[in-house]
Amino acid sequence: MSVMLRTLKKTPVAVTNLKGKVKFPEKFKGTILEKWANYWKNLFIDYKQMLQDLRTDIQDDPRKAFLWTTGLATTVILAKNNPTEIDFKDSLKRVTNNVILVSEECRNPKSIEHLRAVEQYYNEGLIHYRSFGIASVMYTSECNESCDLYKAHCSYLKPTYFSFPSRVVDFGFMGRWWNVYVKTVNYDINI
C-alpha cells in the first residue's frame, strides 16, 4: 500500500516536468493536429487530477480504500475462475469415465440418473450456457433452437421467469460446477 502511495505522490511532479518540455510547432497551430494534441493533453490532465484525488482519498480514509481494493480484487479473481461450458463438458466426461470403471452393483443410482439426464439434454439440444461474469449457469429450455413448432414461437407458451430455477441443471462458481460435483461425489456408493 505504501509503495502505491509513493508512486501516486511522484506522478504529479513527473507530469508537471513533462508538460514544460513538450512544445507544439508553429506550422501546425490552428490545424486538426493541434486540436488532436489538445484533446490528448486535456485527457492526460484529467487523469493526472484523478490520480491526485485518488491519492488524497486513500490518505483520508485508508479503511474504505482497503475495502474497495479487496472487493475489486475478489471480483477479478471470481471472474478469472468462472467456469465455462467446456469446463462443464470436461467435468461430465471425467465423472462419466470414472463411473464406467465401477461395477453396476456399486454405482449410485442418483448419480447415474443425473448423468443420463444431462446426456439426454445434450442429445436433444435443450441445454444452454449462460455466464454472469463471476458465476455461470447451465439450464434447459423447452424446445431445441432449430425447433419450428408453434410452441417454440408462442409467447403465451414460453416458460416464465419464475420457472427458471426448476430448469437449472448446474451452477458454476469458483472453477467448479457444483451440481455435478454434489450429485456425483459418491458415485461408487450404492445407497
- Quick check: helix, strand or coil at residue 106? coil
Q: How many whole angstroms separate alpha carbon 177 and alpha carbon 46?
A: 44
Q: How many whole angstroms separate alpha carbon 115 and alpha carbon 191?
A: 17
The answer to whether the CB of 183 falls within 8 A of the CB of 110 is: yes
- Quick check: helix, strand or coil at residue 93? helix
Residue 176 bridge partners (DSSP) = 173
What is the number of other CB atoms lying within 10 angstroms of the CB of residue 58?
Answer: 18
Q: How many whole angstroms separate alpha carbon 46 and alpha carbon 126?
A: 50
CA distances for 186 relative to 54, 61, 183, angstroms: 51, 50, 7
The answer to whether the CB of 116 falls within 8 A of the CB of 97 is: no
Query: What pTM value is reported for the model?
Result: 0.65
Q: DSSP per residue over 116-174, as a string?
A: HHHHHHHHHT-EEEEE-SSEEEEEE-SS-TT--SHHHH-TTTSPPGGGHHHHEEEEEET
Per-residue pLDDT of the chain (191 residues; tens, 9 = 90+): 566 656 656 655 555 565 556 666 777 677 888 888 889 889 999 999 998 888 888 888 888 888 888 999 999 999 999 999 999 999 999 999 988 888 888 888 888 898 999 998 888 888 889 999 999 999 888 777 766 666 666 776 677 677 777 888 899 999 899 988 888 888 777 77
Instruction: Return the C-alpha torsion angle 179, 180, 183, 184, nearest 10.
Output: -160
From the centroid of its chain, how far is CA 31?
Answer: 44
